Copies of this chain bind each other. A is one copy, B any other.
Amino acid sequence: MRGRSIFAGLSREEVCELGMDVHDIHVPTGTPIYHEGDPAQYAYTLRQGGIKLVKSLPNGHAQIVRLLHHGDLLGFEGLRTDRHRHSAITLTGTDLCRLELRALDALSQRLPAVREAIFARWQQALQEAEDRIVELGAKKADARLATFLCQWVGAYPQQRAAPFPLTRQDLGEFLGLSTEHVSRIMADLKRHGLLHEHKGHIEIPDSRNLFLYASSDGTRA
């Protein structure tokens, strides 16, 4: 699912011939791709790197709504609303494929397979968002962090040590915690030997142990 092109079977040339121009662009670390509230003009597919989708509250607090990996889509809400509903900020240097929303909409109307592919990703995003609601609503801080780390390294099955560009603040904004608390829990996990961290990479020696840590009465409410 994730990582499969939405242009089921179409080559880039064929897509271009259908009237959309497609640009590959590179964005360096920590750079906004678009801002919450901006008029939505482009959608993107993430070819390489990591991105956070952030919503800000009036009182200056930020919440990371979703984290995107290789193969994920962003900006597609522009197909239904005229403005972006969150800010997209790179966590690493990223390679993106930029698509025009108007052309994408027209094209996907004509090609049901493309429409379906977008549809499917949307449904998947809803599923993940609902899982996140459960995490945030029903688990304590340490369990939230532990399950998140398990999922993160699970997204990099090939490597022994997964790249980990997130700061403590990013983790806090994703999990609804203060950076200090995140820091303490991370230190705890390392002390228990459940987690190693070096130079922007993390490694979980035995994810079963971490999972147990995560479940061990990580309850709330």
What residues of chain A have their CB less than 8 Å away from a CB belonging to chain B?
55, 57-63, 65-66, 77, 79-81, 85-86, 109, 112, 115, 119-120, 122-123, 125-127, 129-130, 132-134, 136-139, 172-178, 215, 217-221
Choose from B80, B115, B123, B136 the contact partner of A136 (Cβ within 8 Å).
B136
Chain B residues near A77: list those with CB within 8 A: 123, 126-127
Q: Give A138 to B86 CA distance when docked, in angstroms.
A: 15
Closest chain B residue to A130, Cβ basis: B65
CA distance A60 to B136 in the complex (A): 16
Per the bound structure, the CA–CA distance linking A139 and B65 in Å amounts to 14
Q: Residue A173 contacts which of B112, B122, B172, B221 (CB distance < 8 angstroms)?
A: B221
Q: Which residues of B contact A109 (CB under 8 A)?
A: 112
Contact between chains at B217 and A59 (CB < 8 Å): yes
